[in-house]
Amino acid sequence: MRTAEISRVTNETDIFARLNLDGSGKGDINSGVGFFDHMLTAFSRHGRFDLAFTCKGDTFVDDHHSIEDAGIALGQAFKAAIGDKKGIRRYGSVLLPMDEALVLCAIDISGRAHLSYDLSIPVQKVGSFDTQLVKEFFLGFVRSAEITLHIKQLAGENGHHIIEAAFKAFARSLAQAAAIDPAYADEIPSTKGAL
């Protein structure tokens, strides 16, 4: 099984993450930020990743450090769990609807960090969650996991729906890209021979 555990402790956050890429979608999540727990639960379920995640952050300041560091820690866990990338499909993409929202997500587990982020969330808050932090999460993940991520909103008016569609599309695209292709089980999917 492709699993990893990460502990990340700073002056702002204390995070533990355990990720199983070959799981069944079980989530045990407590980030200290209710809406973000909902997003990580959707990520776990829709990617069929088993995820245990806790964060004790300085939410008395705001949620920024917790969400950004969550992205960093989960990206680190993903990079560790994916290992040498032998046999992975490498690419994954999903066009995901959620009511009026429609989000396109495409991923390359390339060894290169790049984020193309095009969500136009029409509200500053969903509950108490600052919607600017969605991009911060994805930036942290992409940089630590060293993947290319394109995430683009094609339709949507409801902030909750847009963000949730983005997390579900991300999960499903990542699961596709990380899946083992039996026909190429012992090969690195690159002409370079390394990713």
CATH of the domain at 124: 3.30.230.40
Asked if the structure places residue 195 within a domain, the reply is no
The tally of domains found in the chain comes to 1
**What pLDDT is attached to residue 175?**
98
pLDDT at 178: 98
Domain membership of residue 7 (yes or no) is: yes
**Minimal CA–CA distance to 17: which of 45, 49, 46, 54?**
54
**pTM (two decimals):** 0.96
194 domain residue, yes or no = no
Digit-by-digit pLDDT tens for the chain (195 residues) are: 899 999 999 999 999 999 999 999 999 999 999 999 999 999 999 999 999 999 999 999 999 999 999 999 999 999 999 999 999 999 999 999 999 999 999 999 999 999 999 999 999 999 999 999 999 999 999 999 999 999 999 999 999 999 999 999 999 999 999 999 998 888 887 777 777
Instruction: Write down the pLDDT at residue 48.
Output: 98
What pLDDT was estimated at residue 153? 98
Q: Residue 191 domain-assigned?
A: no
Q: Please indicate, yes or no, if residue 193 is contained in any of the structural domains.
A: no
Tell me if 192 is assigned to some domain.
Answer: no
Q: Please state whether beta strands 125-126 and 129-130 pair in parallel, antiparallel, or not at all (unpaired).
A: antiparallel
Q: For residue 122, is it within any domain?
A: yes
Q: What is the predicted pLDDT for the residue at 54?
A: 98
Residues 6 or more apart whose CB falls under 8 angstroms from that of 74 comprise 6, 17, 19, 53, 140, 141, 144, 145
Closest by CA position to 132, among listed 37, 62, 34, 41: 62
Range of the domain at 58: 3-184
Rounded-to-integer distance, Cα 137 and Cα 140, Å: 5
List the strands of the sheet with 148-155, edge to edge: 91-98, 101-108, 148-155, 114-118
> Is residue 151 included in any domain, yes or no?
yes
Taking the C-alpha atoms of residue 53 and residue 39, their distance in angstroms, rounded to an integer, is: 12
